[in-house]
Amino acid sequence: MEATFLLTLLITFLASFIGYELISKIPQTLHTPLMSGSNAISGITLIAAILIYPEVGDSQILQIIVLIAIAFATLNIVGGFSVTGRILGMFKKND
Amino acid sequence: MIEIILLISAILFIFALKLFGRPSTAHRANSFAMLAMALAVFSAFNFDFSKYDSAFYITIVVSGLLGVLISKRVQMTQMPELVGLFNGFGGGASGAIAYVELSNTSLPISDVFVAIFSMVIGIFTFSGSLIAVLKLRGKLNNFSTKLGNIFSVFLPTILIIPAVLEMDTFLNEFIILVALIAGVIRVAVIGGADMPVVIAFLNSLSGIAAMSAGFIVNSIILIVAGALVGASGIILTLLMCAAMNRTLLDVLKGGFGTTNINNEYTKDPISTSPEDVAIELSYAESVVIVPGYGMAVAQAQAAVKELTNTLKDKNIEVKFAIHPVAGRMPGHMNVLLAEVDIDYEDMFTLEDINSEFSSTDVVLVLGANDVVNPLARTDEESPIYGMPILDVDLAKQVVVLKRSMSPGYAGIANPLFINDNAKMLFADAKEGLENIIKSFELV
């Protein structure tokens, strides 16, 4: 238990570090698509919703709340990637 | 098997960020991230799709379609609102999940703290983002900072209430309510032009909320992806703050530009006409255009492109100088210019172009104000003192296209407008540009 938790913390730290290093190199021109793209990624919380949905049990209210979370996260993911693709398409044709 | 899919997903996310580093590879980055996301979501089902009822699948399909629909319809000038809205959804989802997990009584105590953290951050992001969207749409005027200050005192007080009442039911609901109100008020006191910082900050929070949700449900991929988003948001937030020479705390405090400073001009500016600007431009060898929020408001991108083409046809060099906080979100101006096919090679950052202004013939300032205010270099009393600005006042000739002499966000006069080498063309950015282009035909 202890060891797994420490390992998770290490992964968190490494992911943040890699993210910081890579994102620092992204030019200003791409900051808007970076934002909308990373925004879409934050919808990954959908995974948590998928994992807990079968376990909420009989409570209808909780079930509805998870469904709301699923709707929000899906909208975030699909809309976010779609709009990022649109923005990046505008940069692509400049090549 | 699932572990391998998740490993591939995490690697793809990191590669996506790497590919994001250059405009020429960035569109592939999006495909990589999408694939990574698809794999991650797929793995969450653990090959057991029968555990889920129709309500679940209908919700996913309907909200997915809605997401596509919104993203196809939105205009590029509305991008800050859209990103703000999606931020709110991401945060709200994490907050809701944390709430459901907290309702699960068998949660170990360490997870309870993480869940409360995730819930507070998520809900704060949700309400704060919705207010940011309203602000960006101009639907909400600045709350007084006083309200914010009162609230800062009020918040700790209200948090004692449940302890005093020994409240154990509805405690989570109470925390949600406080986080909702906190998000509303915190963002409401911040002015519209500080929204680039706010949006980037909320973006970071939505990642942190997702990351902590990952701790509760023990999902490494959720933690990794959430951490990446958190890092990206923090970097952008700090970049925006540095570009204004202000701290994040100062921005979040709100009330910027509301102090009453003497903003009278000592003399009248020189007013010019579209014809004169056209003549001036046609004799120039190098032109730098400085776009600001005014360009976005007037939807003047197409006119900018037309003017650029006209000038380039005359073998005049045209460059774009983009201040990091121009517009309402990081990189806002770049996207608007890219929308009308302006080459990103022609877009320059502050560091890259500032040394060139002294050898530039004409600078055209398009609805920008504080980012070209020389007081940032000279006046220690000024609220913008120390902020890195575009040194357009060093150019041989400056033409400022602006509707009036009204001050910008900082609420201070801009002595650039009455400089000897500056002329004002009082017009809406789009209309003014179109008139200049028309005048070219007569030159």
Q: Which residues pair with B319 in a beta bridge?
A: B288
Mean pLDDT, residues B425-430: 95
Asked if residue B170 lies in contact with residue B133, where contact means CB atoms within 8 angstroms, the answer is: no
Q: What is the pLDDT of residues A57-94, one digit of tens each?
A: 888 999 999 999 999 999 999 999 999 999 999 887 55
Distance from CA of B329 to the nearest CA of A (A): 7
Does some domain include residue B67?
yes
When divided into structural domains, chain B yields a total of 3
Rg of chain B over Cα atoms, rounded to whole angstroms, equals 25
Interface test with B, best of A6, A29, A70 (most B CBs within 10 A): A29
Looking up tokens 């569109």 gives B27
Do B23 and B82 belong to one domain? Answer: no
Above 70 in pLDDT, residue B146?
A: no
Asked if residue A74 lies in contact with residue A43, where contact means CB atoms within 8 angstroms, the answer is: yes
Does some domain include residue B258?
no
Relative orientation angle of helices A60-92 and B54-73, to the nearest 10 degrees: 30
Region at A57 (left for phi over 0; alpha for psi -120 to 50; beta for the rest): left
CATH, residue B377 = 3.40.50.1220
Do B66 and B80 belong to one domain? Answer: no
Do B68 and B82 belong to one domain? Answer: no
Cα distance between residue B152 and residue B182, in whole Å: 9
Does some domain include residue B248?
yes
Residue B386 lies in domain: 274-442
What six digits make up the tokens of B77? 């000038």
Above 60 in pLDDT, residue B142?
A: no
Does some domain include residue B385?
yes
Q: What is the pLDDT of residues B254-271, one digit of tens each?
A: 777 666 566 678 889 999
Neighboring chain A residues of B93 at a CB cutoff of 8 Å: 43, 45-46, 49, 68-70, 72-73, 76
The conformation of residue B52, written as its DSSP 8-state character, comes to: S
pLDDT of residue B188: 86
Q: Lowest-pLDDT range, A20-29, B79-88, B166-175, B236-245?
A: B166-175
Interface test with A, best of B73, B97, B305, B343 (most A CBs within 10 A): B97
Q: Which residues pair with A52 in a beta bridge?
A: none
When divided into structural domains, chain A yields a total of 1
Do B93 and B69 belong to one domain? Answer: no
Mean pLDDT, residues B342-361: 95
Do B47 and B147 belong to one domain? Answer: no
Does some domain include residue B267?
no
pLDDT of residue B254: 79
Nearest by CB: A38 against B60, B103, B233: B233
Do B287 and B345 belong to one domain? Answer: yes
Q: What is the pLDDT of residues B270-316, one digit of tens each?
A: 999 999 999 999 999 999 999 999 999 999 999 999 999 999 999 99
B370 assigned to active site: yes
Does some domain include residue B269?
no
Do B235 and B349 belong to one domain? Answer: no
Q: Which of B48, B73, B98 is the last residue of a domain?
A: B73
Q: Which of B14, B46, B73 is the last residue of a domain?
A: B73
Do B297 and B175 belong to one domain? Answer: no
Do B226 and B249 belong to one domain? Answer: yes
Residue A44 lies in domain: 2-92
Does some domain include residue B264?
no
Cα distance between residue B215 and residue B213, in whole Å: 5
Neighboring chain A residues of B37 at a CB cutoff of 8 Å: 40-41, 43-44, 77, 81
3-state secondary structure A10-55: HHHHHHHHHHHHHHHCCCHHHHHHHHHHHHHHHHHHHHHHHHHHHH
Do B293 and B376 belong to one domain? Answer: yes
Global pTM value: 0.90
Does some domain include residue B262?
no
Above 70 in pLDDT, residue B103?
A: yes
Torsion of CA B362, B366, B370, B372, to 10 degrees: -10
Q: Which of B30, B48, B73 is the last residue of a domain?
A: B73
B111, B194, B370, B391: the catalytic one is B370
Percentage of chain A modeled with pLDDT above 90? 74
Do B108 and B66 belong to one domain? Answer: no
Do B66 and B81 belong to one domain? Answer: no
Position B143 confidence tier, pLDDT thresholds 50, 70, 90: low
